[in-house]
Copies of this chain bind each other. A is one copy, B any other.
Amino acid sequence: MVVSTHSKPPPPPTAVLADTDPRVLRRAHFFMRLSRAWDSRFEAMARVGRIGRWYSAVGNECTTVGTALALGANDSLSTVHRDLGAVLTTYLDPTRLAPALFEDGDQTAWDVLRPPPQALLDTLANQVFGRRGGFTRGVDRSFHYGLIKPEWGIRHVGMISHLGAMIPVAAGLALANVQDGTDRAVLGFIGEGATSQGDFHEALNLAGVMKLPLILVVENNRYAFSTPLSEQYACEKLSDRAPGYGIAGETVDGLDFDAVHAAMNRAIERARTGYGATLLECMLPRMRGHAEGDGSYEMIPAAEREEYLKQDPLVRFEASLLARGHADQQRVERVTATARDIIEDAVERALLTEEPSLAEATRPVFAPGEVATAFARQSTEVTGG
């Protein structure tokens, strides 16, 4: 880990949590399984052509859940296309969603703030299908939406397709926190491919200069569409870029829950106490292709593919749960089954919901006011439409 001495701050907090709190591990297990169950269901639908495209998050769960679990109410989250785990972790109160799996003391203050989990999950499923009941009611797809609900403690900004473009936006969320004098942090995700974009650079440089409470997690799954990392960058580790921005940088094994969670907790601590930003690279196995069935998976050498499939973070996480005695085989199975049932239900319900109303197509491009009114008065609203 490297920290800038440019503006000579005292050394940042580096304490590693000795062992992760079992309550955190229980949550983590549930959300990782929930994320995996969702992917399994959607991959199956993609295979039979029931949905057009699916970007699988299989292999990313330990990283997305392990980092997002360190957030508190009204921290911000900025996600891209493989961050379902972080979304679920940030949105849902697991103690209400799967009460049988959690103990009484497992509910947190933030959980209480959050809305009924089932409704939120249903909205998310609708969103992904582009249905009427989704966050954008069919106007945009999958994780291309934002959910900014301070009253729920949720500040989540989804993506646009242009990769890299959300990193400055995440920096802006962090800037607002600084302006407001809060200690709230921002967790953003990005693939290793998108680190080549200019926006990555401009945002992290700003974060360094302004000491913004931003944690950017690079999900390094070694491929960007078909492009291997040897054609993407030439540094040894992407966290080697952190010193160039005067921010903290770490590279961790994205399959090691404790390592990910501890690194994230260090980063959060730095963010909350004014030491600024962190670039946290998590090394992940490429367990799936770019999008299901687009031919990119076949570009990975077969032996390499097999190697990655063996590195399943869920297998490793559950083995460690069992080994450390935090769960028995029966609980592992119960969590898996419960997660699968919850997702199956949500998907089935979403599939039954209506298509969006056609009126959504021409819904306003402007928020209500003078401009919106003037826009609606134009003849192009009729003839061009």
Give the shortest distance, in Å, between A80 (CB) and chain B (any CB): 18
Q: Does A235 contact B (CB under 8 A)?
A: yes
A226-250 residues with Cβ-Cβ distance < 8 A to B are 230-236, 238, 240-241, 243-247
A265-292 residues with Cβ-Cβ distance < 8 A to B are 276
Residue from B198, B238, B244 within 8 A of A241 (CB atoms): B244
Complex interface: stretch among A54-62, A106-114, A199-207: A199-207
Interface contact A205-B230, CB-CB below 8 Å: no
Q: Does A66 contact B (CB under 8 A)?
A: no
Interface contact A236-B200, CB-CB below 8 Å: no
Interface majority SS on A: helix, strand, loop or mixed? helix
CA distance A246 to B230 in the complex (A): 11
Q: Which residues of B contact A199 (CB under 8 A)?
A: 198
Q: Which residues of B contact A201 (CB under 8 A)?
A: 196-198, 200-202
Chain A 189-232 interface mask (CB, 8 Å, partner B; 1/0) = 00000001111111001001101000000000000000000111
Give the shortest distance, in Å, between A274 (CB) and chain B (any CB): 14
Q: Does A329 contact B (CB under 8 A)?
A: no
Q: Does A378 contact B (CB under 8 A)?
A: no
Give the shortest distance, in Å, between A115 (CB) and chain B (any CB): 38
CA distance A244 to B192 in the complex (A): 13
Complex interface: stretch among A3-11, A87-95, A361-369: A3-11
Copies in the complex: 2
CA distance A5 to B236 in the complex (A): 7
Give the shortest distance, in Å, between A232 (CB) and chain B (any CB): 7
Interface contact A235-B202, CB-CB below 8 Å: no
Interface contact B202-A4, CB-CB below 8 Å: no
Residues of A within 8 A of B (CB): 4-7, 196-202, 205, 208-209, 211, 230-236, 238, 240-241, 243-247, 276
Ordered by A's residue number, 27 sampled pairs between the chains whose C-beta atoms are within 8 Å are A4-B235, A4-B236, A5-B236, A6-B233, A6-B235, A6-B236, A7-B230, A196-B202, A196-B205, A197-B201, A200-B201, A205-B234, A208-B233, A208-B235, A209-B230, A209-B231, A209-B233, A233-B246, A234-B245, A234-B246, A234-B247, A234-B276, A236-B243, A240-B243, A240-B244, A241-B243, A243-B244
